[in-house]
Amino acid sequence: MTAVLLIEDDDRIRLSLTMALEDEGYTAYAVATGEEGIAEQRRRRADTVLVDLMLPGMDGYECIRQLRRDDDVPIVVVSARDDTHDIVAALEAGADDYVVKPVRVKELAARLRALRRRSRTVLAPVTSVLTFGALEIRPEAGEVRLDGVAVAVTRTEFRLLCELAEHPGLVLSRQQLLQRVWEYEFGDERVVDVHVGRLRQKIEADTARPRHLVTVRGLGYKLQP
C-alpha cells in the first residue's frame, strides 16, 4: 500500500484527513510539527508527504526545504492559504503541488495517484540523449548535464524538461504541460510557472535572458538550443 505522511498541527484536521486517506486505500500516519515530520520521514520513508504551511516551531516552508534536501519524495502542500505569494513560495521551497483547504478528499486522492504514476513512469524518448547546445538531457538515465556537469533536478522538474525537450522549438501551453507532466485536466497554472523558474535557475546562465527555456508571451514555453 502507498504510504502517506501528513504533517498537520490541527488535531481535528489531522485525524479526519488520516481516516479519509485510509478509506481511500492509503497507509497514512501523521505528526503535528515539521520537526517530527522530518524525523518520521527519515525513520520510515513515506511515498508522499502532505505538509501544512502554518506549523508551530519550524514552518511549512522550512519543513519542505529540509525534506527536499533529504530526498526526492513527492511533496504536496495542504493549506488554508490561497494567496499567490504563499503558493509560489511553497513551490519554490520544493513542493510538487498545492491543495487549498477545505480539502476534497477525492480530489486529493486523484492528485496523489497522479504523483505516484509520474514517479513510476518510464520515459520512452526517441533518442537516448536530447541535446540543446551545452544542455544534455538523458531521459533513460534520468540525468541532466550542463557543460558536461550533472545538474540536480527533482522528478517533476525532470519530467517537465523532458516534455519540452521531446518537442524542440514547439510552444507548449501551461495547460498542455499541466496535462502532460502533472496529469491534471485542470489546475493552477502557477505550478508550471514556478517549476519553469526553478529549472531556469539550474540550466540558464542568465535567468533574466534565458537561452534554452524560453517564454513565448501569451502562449507558453519552449525549449531551444
Q: What is the mean pLDDT of residues 113-141?
A: 77
61-70, 115-124, 168-177: segment of lowest average pLDDT:
115-124
Q: What percent of the chain has pLDDT over 90?
A: 71
Q: What digits encode the pLDDT tens for the residues 12-27?
A: 999 999 999 999 999 9
The residue extents of the domains of the chain are: 2-116, 130-223
90-99, 115-124, 127-136: segment of lowest average pLDDT:
115-124
CATH superfamily of 2-116: Response regulator (3.40.50.2300)
Q: What pLDDT band is residue 162 in, cutting at 50, 70 and 90?
A: very high
Cell numbers that stand for 65 in this block: 526545504
Same topology for domains 2-116 and 130-223, yes or no?
no
- At the top level of CATH, which class does the domain 130-223 belong to? mainly alpha
pLDDT at 92: 87
Q: What is the mean pLDDT of residues 142-147?
A: 93
